[in-house]
Structure 1
Amino acid sequence: MTALALFDFDGTLCKQDSFTGFMQSAVPKHYFYRKCLKISPQIAAYYLKLYPANRMRPLLFKTVLKDENADQAHIVGQHYAQYLVEHCLNQEVLARLKWHQHQQHQVVIVSASLNLYLQPVAKLLNVELICTQVDDYHQVLTGAYRSADCSCEEKVSRLKQHYDLQAFTKIYAYGNSHEDIHMLKLATHAYWINQKHQLQPFSK
């Protein structure tokens, strides 16, 4: 196996923001919105592009899911993963993923989203996974991450921890945002998913 294919998830393989969708699925809606009121200044700043996504995600996770039952969160994640795979994937990008599998390339989802639902997504798609890992203690979510938010430079760092990148003659990468740029730049073949969810070559 001489080729590695790397896929971002939100906005790339998945057409929607799976992270926020999972938060809304994991707890009752009224509870979700009440919790979000506590961090409304940060949420407003995030939408004004004044608060970075790699800080917003951990804050939202902690605010909404701290002290929730970890087993229940995994069950919700299983159902949510099934929904994402059946209804939310970008079919053009999914076709590329399947092409890589047919070519017997090593295929990996590399995402800042959570293992709670990305692990079952990866299993359903029969691919490997590098993502943000959440922490639990005695079956209770602590509200913390077990690993750093897997975005930007962290994507490349985690890839280098898991794979000998020099062993691959070709590295393909697919992304859609500034959080994927570092991963795209290490690829020999890089592709960008634009706002119309269309695949195009990425110019380094």
Structure 2
Amino acid sequence: MKHAIAFFDFDGTITTRDTLFEIIRFQKGRAALYAGMAVLSPLLVLFKLGVISNQRMKEIVLRFFFRNTPVAEFQEQCDKFCRERLPSLLRPKALNAIAWHLAQGHPVYIVTASAENWVEPWSRTLGVPCLGSRLEVTGGRITGLLLGKNCHGDEKVCRIRESIQLTPYNDIYAYGDSSGDREMLALAQHKGFRAFE
């Protein structure tokens, strides 16, 4: 009997859009999101040009919107986001693929650059573990920095290998939608690039 395992990116693969901006909109409001992005727009241009790294840009955005937010308050809003907003952002084809893998008895993991705070409450309802970026917390408050590396590109593979012994699996499935998933897709015999659009 062949043993299989499946890894799913989250933003753009399972969801229709980037949830970082959706979590900001949900917690801070649309006006605050647009005003903040206007302030940050010169830095976003530098990010698009490759001058600012993915991790640094994410930390700039997180610090701008969430620095000094009590983590308990932030998590409560993330849990609420997973219940109230996230369902409308999910791709039915991706959910069907997750359900198929689970029905086959395959372990399934969400591997995402998004913070575990607003992905894991949803993935837990499916019984699916989440490997995501982690937010630094000091004195019970979010600093806006990441704890360790952004779970993107090579770091996705590092997090997978830290968490799972892959040698027992004959078949590895991986699903992603962007260049940040390339290394994870390279692990797999079965690659699903933008498979659910």
Relative to the length of structure 2, the TM-score reads 0.90
Partner of residue 115, structure 1? 116
Partners of 1:70 and 1:140 within 8 A in 2: yes
- Measured on the aligned residues, the alpha-carbon RMSD in Å equals 2.0
SS, match of residue 119 in structure 2:
helix
Deviations 1:134-181 (A, max 9, x none): 111232111111121000000001111011111211110000000000
Partner of residue 4, structure 2? 3
Partner of residue 24, structure 2? 23
For residues 154-193 of structure 1, the aligned pairs below 5 Å read 154-193=155-194
One-letter amino acid matched to 2:26: S
Deviation at 1:24, TM superposition (A): 2.1
Partner of residue 131, structure 2? 130
Q: Residues 41 and 85 of structure 1: is their aligned pair in 2 closer, same or farther, counting only changes over 3 Å?
A: closer
Q: Residues 84 and 187 of structure 1: is their aligned pair in 2 closer, same or farther, counting only changes over 3 Å?
A: farther
Partner of residue 102, structure 1? 103
Moved more, 84-93 or 177-186: 84-93
Sequence identity (%): 25
Moved more, 158-167 or 80-89: 80-89
SS, match of residue 9 in structure 1:
coil
2-structure distance, mates of 1:39, 1:19? 15
Deviation at 1:52, TM superposition (A): 4.5
Partner of residue 89, structure 1? 90
Deviation at 1:81, TM superposition (A): 1.2
Moved more, 8-17 or 28-37: 28-37
Structure 1 unpaired stretches of 5+? 199-204
Deviations 1:87-141 (A, max 9, x none): 1111111101100000010000000001111110111222011000111123211
Relative to the length of structure 1, the TM-score reads 0.87
Deviation at 1:36, TM superposition (A): 3.8
Aligned: 1:53 with 2:54: yes
Deviations 1:18-46 (A, max 9, x none): 11111222224444444444432112334
Partner of residue 79, structure 2? 78
Q: How many residues align?
A: 196
Partner of residue 148, structure 1? 149
1-structure distance, mates of 2:175, 2:85? 18
1-structure distance, mates of 2:95, 2:36? 35
1-structure distance, mates of 2:166, 2:85? 30
2-structure distance, mates of 1:178, 1:84? 26
Q: Residues 125 and 84 of structure 1: is their aligned pair in 2 closer, same or farther, counting only changes over 3 Å?
A: farther
2-structure distance, mates of 1:27, 1:149? 23
